[in-house]
Structure 1
Amino acid sequence: MDIAEIRTRNFKALIAGLESRGVTRRRDQGAKLGGFLSASYVSQLLAGKYIGDDVAKKISLAVGTDHGWMDRPHWEQDATTSISTVLETETRPGYVRFDVFEGGAGMGAGLVNQDYPEVVQTIEVAEWEVRRKLGYLPKPGRIQLITGRGPSMKPKLEDGDIIWIDTSCNYFDGDDYYLINIGGETQIKMLQKRGDGMYVVSINPDFPTYRSDEGEVSILGKALIHAGLRRF
């Protein structure tokens, strides 16, 4: 058996292990395996795309093993055991884990979908506090974190604030704050439906409100909670 097949079968075992623990979205799986694998790339690797030396090394290190782990056969183990090294950092009982959304969000001119330094990669919050704030416990991966960038939502949102996004809400759910994509840029904005259409609203008066054309705005999620680092 050549190295390509060994790596592919090991990768499939890792994904199977994650799925057995409820991590079913390709984007979330990529985040678990080092954060450098996009959802589409995970799918390509599962379909048999060759896993190069650098990628194999990064995955091996991401699961907490030596750099050659992917080059040795492990798939005969139970899928849950195969991913045990990843799960060493899994959420503790009684807590809910929120991971980072892919890419940042602009709060000014916008931020093109791209890698951007995140203030926080993951947060674990006690279940009782999540219930108190949200009224329910979300399924894994439903609510994700982003770092807001730019001045247009000040003073409600400051540059670098962390925002919880409900990714299951990809539709207009009343006047509120949303993560949207408009013109290829991802932004946090308030959406308001008025008699003549949908309006994109900034809090900062230096950024004018405008009416969007039909189909121009794609809703990626609804903003629920925000937090930031502040000096007293």
Structure 2
Amino acid sequence: MTKKKELSPELKAECEAAKSLFVSKKNALGLTQASLAEAADISAAAVAMYLNGTNPLNSKFAAVLSRLLGVPVESFSKRLAVEIAGLTSINHQDAGLSASEMVRQMLAAKGKGLSEAARANLLAAAEHSDLGGMVPVESSRPGQVGDEVWIAHYDVRAAMGGGQIPHEYPEMLQDIRVSPKHLRDLGVTFKEHFHLKMITGWGQSMAPTIKDRDPLLVDITVREFTGDGIYLFSHDDMLYVKRLQKKGKGHFKMISDNKHHDPEDIRVDDTYILARVLLVWNANLV
């Protein structure tokens, strides 16, 4: 049997971004892989192959995912955003038509080979666009800096205090669109933009560096201690955002920037680093 060819890094990044968005929003929206499969008229196994990066995303699945999550296709695939936008702009004489009207024309002319479910999903996505839910054609163009990308928000609560168990909670900041070049100009160091995620810190123990509910930009590929810094980590089944310093061979010193909180010694073997904090998205009142 021929081994399946591995996806390119770009296509795998699309799958990872799609999975991150799905995982971060599924609980709030009451979605499962089974319900996603039903909406896309495919098997649950096929959904898993898309989200796990075995198969590349296609426009049909992207349109369904965009509609169910309420996010633009561009947030996980610029490639498919452009492709879907192309479906809604068949030629210049259609400029006055809505997205759904243009897709109906496209389906009538070229959609004979599509299943009824696929036709329905494309039309639903276009109707969602009419209501402002999808990215319009113009949004696929580069922004002012020229390299803006979407960064997904992870639905976890990272405590800057006594530790907290992740669960649902309201957020000030959801998925964001940023320029990797601008981040690097600010001194943020990372390899690929799709390694970056947003989380929210809760509590006062890291003040004034990180205030309660400040959004944090983290690199989820950092899964081990890489030097003194602020990390997202799990210890005793609780999540923390704290400074870590190596203390001897088998211990970390867990440090709070708030001087009212004393440092603690924790075992390296009981600490699981999940990400490194790269940037605090402070919102200071003026």
* Inter-partner Cα distance in structure 1 for 2:140 and 2:223: 27
Residues 235 and 270 in structure 2, CA contact (< 8 A), matched pair in contact too: yes
Q: CA deviation at 1:42?
A: 3.3
Instruction: Kindly indicate whether residue 217 of structure 2 is the aligned counterpart of residue 164 of structure 1.
Output: yes
Q: Does residue 27 in structure 1 map to residue 23 in structure 2?
A: no
- Report 1 or 2 for greater relative contact order, CA contacts < 8 Å, sequence distance ≥ 6: 1
Structure 1 residue 43, shift from structure 2 partner: 8.0
Q: Tell whether the 8 Å contact from 2:26 to 2:32 is kept in structure 1 after alignment.
A: no
- Which 5+ residue runs of structure 2 have no aligned equivalent? 1-9, 38-42, 46-63, 73-98, 101-115
Question: How big is the shift at 1:216?
Answer: 1.3
Counterpart of 2:261?
Answer: 207
CA contact (8 A) 2:180 2:193 kept: no
Give % identity.
22
For residue 267 of structure 2, give the secondary structure of its aligned residue in structure 1: coil
The equivalent position to 1:146 in structure 2, one of 194, 199, 202, is: 199
Letter in structure 2 aligned against 1:144 = K
CA RMSD, Structure 1 to Structure 2 (Å): 4.1
1:53 paired residue number:
none
The residue aligned with 2:226 is 173
Would the aligned equivalents of 2:229 and 2:243 in 1 still touch at CA under 8 Å?
yes
1:113·1:184 contact (CA, 8 Å) conserved in 2? Answer: no
Give the structure-1-normalised TM-score: 0.68
Contact map agreement 1:91 1:124 (CA 8 A) in 2: no
Q: Deviations over 1:152-185 (max 9, x none)?
A: 1011111011110000101100111001111222
What TM-score comes out, normalization by structure 2 length?
A: 0.57
Structure 1 residue 222 and structure 2 residue 213: aligned? Answer: no
Instruction: Pick closer, same or farther for the CA change 1:141–1:91 going to 2, 3 Å.
Output: farther
Shift, 1:186, TM fit = 1.3
How big is each residue's C-alpha offset from its partner over 1:127-157, in whole Å with a ceiling of 9 and x where there is no partner?
Answer: 4312312466753531111111001101111
Aligned to 2:26: 36
With over 3 angstroms needed to count, the CA separation of the structure-2 counterparts of 1:188 and 1:137, relative to structure 1, is closer
Q: CA deviation at 1:60?
A: 4.3
Contact 1:179-1:186 at 8 Å conserved across structures: yes
More helix, by proportion: 2
Count, aligned residues: 199
